[in-house]
C-alpha cells in the first residue's frame, strides 16, 4: 500500500507494520474470540498485553528497577496538573521556560504550588535558544524542577538533560518528553519523573506515559483525585480505574516494532537515535542551504523531531501546502500560534519521507525563484 507521508505533530503517524497487525487482530485477538477493545482490563488476555507492554517499554528505554511505569489518561496537558498534585507538596517548584508547552505547564502548576519560580527563560529570544543551565537561579528547597525536553511547537530540544545536582539542587528533575520519547536514550540518573502523551511517538491519543522514581510516590496533596495519585496507580498496576486498553495495546505493538529496529549495528532506541539524526540533518541542511526557507532556532538546540520552517515570502504559503498535498506530503502547516510550516519527523517517519519532502522543497524553490 502506497501511503502518503504524514508529518503531523500529533496525533501522528504510526508504523505501518503496527497498523497492519492491529487490523489483522481487530476482530479476534490471538484466538480469544474478542477484539482488544472488547476485553475486560482485568481478564487474562488483556493482562498479558499489559504486562508485555510494560516489560518491553522498560527494556526499550532502559528504565531502572527503582522507577514505576504508569499507563494513565489525560495526555501531557493533564499531567501539568497531576505532577504538582503529586510532587509539589504545596511548596515551591521551579520551571524553565523554553516554549509554548513549558509556558502552559507553569501556569497550571500555579494552581497547586505555593510558589512557582521561573529559574531560566528563553522568552527574550522568541524561544529560539535554550537558557544556559549555568545561569539558572534554582530555588533552595524546591519540590521539583520542570522542563519540557522537546518543545513541539517551537522546535527546541535539550540534547543533554541538565545535571541539576551539579548546579547545587537536590530537587528531582521532571521532564515532559511527549514529543521525543523513544527517539533517543534517557539519562535516568538525572530524572525523577518523565511524562508524555503517546500520540506523537508511541501510539494513539488517549494514553499517557508516566515514569516515576519510587521515592517520589506517596506525597499527593489531599485534593488529588485518587485516580491521579501516582502511588494509587502504581499500587494497582495502572488498573485502579479502567486504563486506555486500546492505547496500551497499540503502544505495546509500537514498543515491539522499536525493539526490532536496527541501524548501523545498533538496535532499539540507539538505532532510532542514529536514524533520527540522519533525518533531521537532511532536512535542516536543505533549509539552511536555501534562499526561500528559514529555520530560526539556534543550531545547538534544534529539535530532531519537530522542525519548523518559514518561507521568506509567506504569500506563497498556500501554494506550498497545496503542492505538498498533491505530492502526498501531509500536515505540514505550522502551529496556529507561530505560523509557517512544521515537519514532525517522529520515529515512524522513514528517511524516504524526509527525502521526498526535501525534493519537493527544492523543486518549489526553483519554480518560484
> What is the share, in percent, of the chain residues with pLDDT greater than 70?
100
Classify residue 349 by its DSSP letter.
S
Residue with the larger pLDDT of the pair 369 and 83: 83
Which residue in the block uniquely carries the three cell numbers 521532571? 174
Question: Is pLDDT of 1 > 90?
Answer: no
Q: Is 240 exposed, middle or buried (0-12, 13-18, 19+ CB in 10 A)?
A: middle
Q: Which of 101, 229, 257, 279 is catalytic?
A: 101
Asked about 279 being catalytic, the answer comes back as no
Spatial CB neighbours of 107, under 8 Å, sequence gap ≥ 6: none
Q: What is the pTM of this model?
A: 0.96
pLDDT tens, position by position, 202-222: 999 999 999 999 999 999 999
Known catalytic membership, residue 296: no
Convert the pLDDT of each residue in 259-276 to its tens digit: 999 999 999 999 999 999
pLDDT above 80: residue 369 = no
Q: Which of 68, 200, 231, 279 is catalytic?
A: 200
Residue-wise pLDDT for 314-360, tens only, equals: 999 999 999 999 999 999 999 999 999 999 999 999 999 999 999 99
DSSP run (H or E) holding 279 = helix 268-288
Report phi then psi at 55, rounded to 5.
-65, -40
The pLDDT tens digits for 59-105 are 999 999 999 999 999 999 999 999 999 999 999 999 999 999 999 99
pLDDT (tens digit per residue) in 140-161: 999 999 999 999 999 999 999 9
pLDDT in tens, 150-207: 999 999 999 999 999 999 999 999 999 999 999 999 999 999 999 999 999 999 999 9
Residues 6+ apart with CB under 8 A from 316: 368
Instruction: Quickly state the pLDDT bin for 2 (edges 50, 70, 90).
Output: confident
Phi-psi region of 89 (alpha: psi -120 to 50; beta: other; left: phi over 0): left
pLDDT of residue 185: 97
Cβ proximity of 208 and 197 under 8 Å: yes
Active-site hit among 29, 56, 136, 176: 176
Q: Could you write out the DSSP letters of every residue in 100-168?
A: HHHHHHHHHHTTTSSEEEEEEE-GGGTS-S---GGG--PPTT-S-EEEESEETTTTEE-SS---TTTTT
In 3D space, the residue among 200, 187, 189, 193 whose CA is nearest the CA of residue 303 turns out to be: 200
Continuous H helices in 25-113: 44-60, 75-87, 100-109
d(CA 361, CA 190): 39
Any catalytic annotation for residue 101?
yes
Q: Are 272 and 278 in contact (CB under 8 A)?
A: no
Q: Mean pLDDT throughout 216-241?
A: 97
CA-based torsion, 28, 33, 38, 44: positive or negative? negative
Confidence of residue 137 (pLDDT cuts 50, 70, 90): very high
Report the distance separating Cα 211 and Cα 232, nearest Å: 14
Summarised one tens digit per residue, pLDDT across range 101-116 is: 999 999 999 999 999 9
Largest CA-CA distance found in the chain, in angstroms, rounded = 62
Residue 228 has pLDDT above 80, yes or no: yes
Amino acid at each position: 500500500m502506497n501511503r502518503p507521508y504524514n508529518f503531523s505533530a500529533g496525533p501522528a503517524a504510526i508504523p505501518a507494520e503496527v497498523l497492519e497487525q492491529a487490523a489483522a487482530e481487530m476482530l479476534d485477538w490471538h484466538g480469544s474470540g474478542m477484539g482488544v477493545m472488547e476485553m475486560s482490563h482485568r481478564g487474562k488476555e488483556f493482562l498479558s498485553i499489559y504486562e508485555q507492554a510494560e516489560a518491553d517499554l522498560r527494556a526499550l528505554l532502559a528504565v531502572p528497577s527503582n522507577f514505576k511505569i504508569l499507563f494513565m489518561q489525560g495526555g501531557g496537558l493533564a499531567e501539568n496538573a497531576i505532577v504538582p498534585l503529586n510532587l509539589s507538596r504545596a511548596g515551591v517548584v521551579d520551571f524553565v521556560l523554553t516554549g509554548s508547552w513549558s509556558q502552559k505547564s507553569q501556569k497550571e502548576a500555579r494552581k497547586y504550588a505555593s510558589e512557582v519560580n521561573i529559574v531560566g527563560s528563553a522568552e527574550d529570544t522568541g524561544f529560539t535558544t535554550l537558557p544556559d543551565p549555568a545561569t539558572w537561579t534554582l530555588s533552595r528547597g524546591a519540590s521539583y524542577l520542570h522542563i519540557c525536553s522537546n518543545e513541539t511547537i517551537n522546535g527546541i530540544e535539550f540534547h543533554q538533560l541538565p545535571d541539576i545536582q551539579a548546579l547545587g539542587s537536590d530537587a528531582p528533575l521532571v521532564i515532559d518528553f511527549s514529543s521525543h520519547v523513544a527517539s533517543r536514550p534517557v539519562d535516568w540518573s538525572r530524572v525523577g519523573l518523565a511524562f508524555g502523551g503517546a500520540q506523537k511517538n508511541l501510539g494513539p491519543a488517549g494514553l499517557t506515559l508516566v515514569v516515576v522514581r519510587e521515592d517520589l510516590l506517596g506525597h499527593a496533596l489531599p485534593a488529588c483525585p485518587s485516580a491521579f495519585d501516582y502511588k494509587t496507580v502504581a499500587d494497582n498496576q495502572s488498573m485502579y480505574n479502567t486504563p486506555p486498553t486500546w492505547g496500551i495495546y497499540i503502544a505495546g505493538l509500537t514498543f515491539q516494532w522499536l525493539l526490532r529496529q536496527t541501524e548501523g549495528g545498533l538496535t532499539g532506541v540507539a538505532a532510532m537515535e542514529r536514524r533520527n539524526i540522519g533525518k533531521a540533518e537532511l532536512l535542516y541542511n536543505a533549509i539552511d542551504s536555501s534562499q526561500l526557507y528559514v529555520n530560526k532556532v539556534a543550531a545547538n538546540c534544534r529539535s530532531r523531531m519537530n522542525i519548523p520552517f518559514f518561507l521568506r515570502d509567506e504569500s506563497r504559503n498556500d501554494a506550498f501546502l497545496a503542492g505538498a498535498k498533491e505530492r502526498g506530503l501531509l500536515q505540514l502547516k505550522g502551529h496556529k500560534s507561530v505560523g509557517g510550516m512544521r515537519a514532525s519527523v517522529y520515529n515512524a517517519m522513514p528517511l524516504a519521507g524526509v527525502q521526498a519532502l526535501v525534493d519537493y522543497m527544492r523543486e518549489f524553490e526553483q519554480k518560484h525563484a
